[in-house]
Amino acid sequence: MLQQLDTAIGFVVVMLMLSLLVTAVVQSVSALLDLRGKNLVRSLAGLFQQIDPGLSAHAETSDTWARIKRRFFHPFTSTTLATQLADLVTTHPVLAHSWTRAKAIRKEELLNVLEDLRTRATSTQTANTETRTDSWSKAVQTIDGKIAATLAEADAVKDGVSKWFDTVMDRASDIFTRWTRTITVAISVLLVMALHLDAGSIFRQIATNPDVRAGLNKFSDTALAEAAQVMNGGNRGSNAVKEFAASNNALVDAETLKGLQDIQNCADAAAWLGSNVRDKSKAKQVQGQFSDACHADAVKHLEASEAEIKKLRDQLQQTDIQFVPPGAFGTANSSCWQRLGVWFALYRSNPRHLLGVLAMVVLLSLGAPFWFNALKQLSNLKPAIGQKIAKESSAT
């Protein structure tokens, strides 16, 4: 029984490490493409169209670079007045930091930003005497008349936000989860298909090779620790709050800090900090300082992703498992076309291998959290089974 359990633990360790590779890549892609910011823009645009259907009209722009980006980089996405307004909201100086959009927004923050935009858009004096030269202020000065008219209906906008905000944000969360899942599956397919990762072959190696099985079981504790560290990046916001509060002892009550839930991004963390800081008069100042520190940490985390991926890859290589079939990419003297032909031929000549590859895609798509929990449960189960077997052996 212990051998079967060791085999299961070994296989789960391999799946966990491969899933962590995929997770690290997904986190990097999400940050580089600013998927959270874009998802917030799309969601706010839907909210604004719900408040005023007239904002679904196509937005014209005199900015040549903006037209080029829309024509070549977003050929299937039309820029509406609603998306234009949403982009102004998410790039507001209070919410955005450095070159990034806001990743999340609270209802009160949205209402305050819309009020600020309304004041700027409807005040002739402000438009004529604006001295700031940053790109956001210039964009506000050229705001479309239809957007200005919508913002002028302050009560209607406030009622619309109050009525639809929670629904839209819940939907935005679901959409982002689907995006992340889609990217995870796509990267899993690319990784598995490109390297010929066969779940059946890996399982057979673990089940029939005692050295491989023992090495993977010895590595299980390290795999759990590494997984916790990589997946902890999803709670970067709450971790940053704890670190920031630790360096400022009188910033937040200890009991309040203990009740802090997992927060994924800096914007949500800054909002929580502003609501729970002891000295409310310094809330804005504290939020600004925290946001700068949190985003600097996020940049460092992104730079460290490459190192994490390399470390995981090296750890997998130390397990002595043969992941890539021999000769899958031809020989050292093979040309590029010959290597590609050998790569395709392996799939055509071995249907069983193709089934193993497809099974690996499905298993990796379950995600690192699934395999992390599975490994924890199996690791906790092993001592109990070992004690039971020892008692049965001593009784006989």
Q: What is the DSSP letter of 281?
A: G
Cα–Cα nearest to 92, from 102, 106, 105: 102
The pLDDT score that the predictor gives to residue 395 is 67
Q: What is the DSSP letter of 98?
A: T
The pLDDT score that the predictor gives to residue 363 is 92
Is pTM beyond 0.85 here?
A: no
**Position with higher pLDDT, 322 vs 232:** 322
The pLDDT score that the predictor gives to residue 92 is 83
Residue 233, pLDDT above cutoff 60: no
Average pLDDT, the chain: 76
Encode 294-316 in three state secondary structure. HHHHHHHHHHHHHHHHHHHHHHH
Of the listed ranges 147-161, 283-297, 356-370, the least confidently predicted one is 283-297
The pLDDT score that the predictor gives to residue 229 is 64
Mean pLDDT within 383-393: 73
d(C-alpha 370, C-alpha 363), whole Å: 10
**Position with higher pLDDT, 342 vs 355:** 355
**Position with higher pLDDT, 282 vs 18:** 18
Of the listed ranges 61-75, 198-212, 341-355, the least confidently predicted one is 61-75
Of the listed ranges 106-120, 216-230, 299-313, the least confidently predicted one is 299-313
The pLDDT score that the predictor gives to residue 359 is 93
Mean pLDDT within 368-373: 87
Residue burial 119-149, b: 16+ Cβ < 10 Å; e: rest: ebbeeeeeeeeeeeeeeeeebbeebbebbbe
**Position with higher pLDDT, 93 vs 200:** 200
Do the beta carbons of residue 14 and residue 315 sit within 8 Å? no
d(C-alpha 296, C-alpha 38), whole Å: 20
The one-letter amino acid code at 353 reads H
* Residue whose token pair is 């497809």: 358
Angstrom CA distances, 113 to 104, 110, 157, stand at 13, 5, 12
pLDDT confidence tier of residue 310, bands split at 50, 70 and 90: low
The pLDDT score that the predictor gives to residue 369 is 84
The pLDDT score that the predictor gives to residue 145 is 81
According to DSSP H, which parts of the chain are helical? 2-32, 35-51, 64-72, 81-90, 107-122, 124-129, 135-141, 145-152, 154-195, 199-208, 210-218, 220-231, 236-246, 254-258, 266-276, 283-317, 336-349, 351-365, 368-395
Mean pLDDT within 316-328: 73
d(C-alpha 47, C-alpha 163), whole Å: 10
Mean pLDDT within 275-299: 70
| Alpha carbons within 13 A on the beta-carbon side of 290 | 34
Residue 86, pLDDT above cutoff 70: yes
Mean pLDDT within 314-337: 74
Share of the chain above pLDDT 70, in %: 74
pLDDT confidence tier of residue 143, bands split at 50, 70 and 90: confident
Length of the chain: 396
